[in-house]
Amino acid sequence: MKFNCPKVNFNSIANAISVASGVTLAGIIGFGSYVYVNKDAIIDDIKQDAIESITGGGLGGLAGGALTGDTNPFAGENAAVGGTSMGLPVPGSPF
């Protein structure tokens, strides 16, 4: 039984590696250029997101709304009458 393997020469392997390397390098340069050109907008977006996560009351903020005067994160449409609850129903609960 004779196996016929396709002949692969070094030039075809080197060309494939060169093309892959060139595409990768072009992607890195393109992404780096995009970040460099838009760095001010990216920094402003990150700053705005950080400020909103700290001062954005309710459960989403790290300060829990203490900076804005809203210190009860459960007050609102999901608050239970007469107590603090997350507003989640408990099936079959006698309470």
pLDDT tens profile 27-48: 999 999 999 999 999 999 999 9
Give whole-number Cα distances, 67 to 13, 41, 51, 94, in Å: 62, 26, 12, 38
Domain assignment present for residue 83? The answer is no
Domain that holds residue 50: 11-60
Domain assignment present for residue 53? The answer is yes
Domain assignment present for residue 77? The answer is no
Mind listing the pLDDT tens digit for each residue in 59-90?
A: 445 555 555 555 565 555 555 555 555 666 66
Domain assignment present for residue 4? The answer is no
Rounded to whole angstroms, how far apart are CA atoms 49 and 47?
A: 5
Tokens of 66: 């203490």
Beta strands in the chain (DSSP E): none
Domain assignment present for residue 26? The answer is yes
What's the structural domain count of the chain? 1
Domain assignment present for residue 67? The answer is no
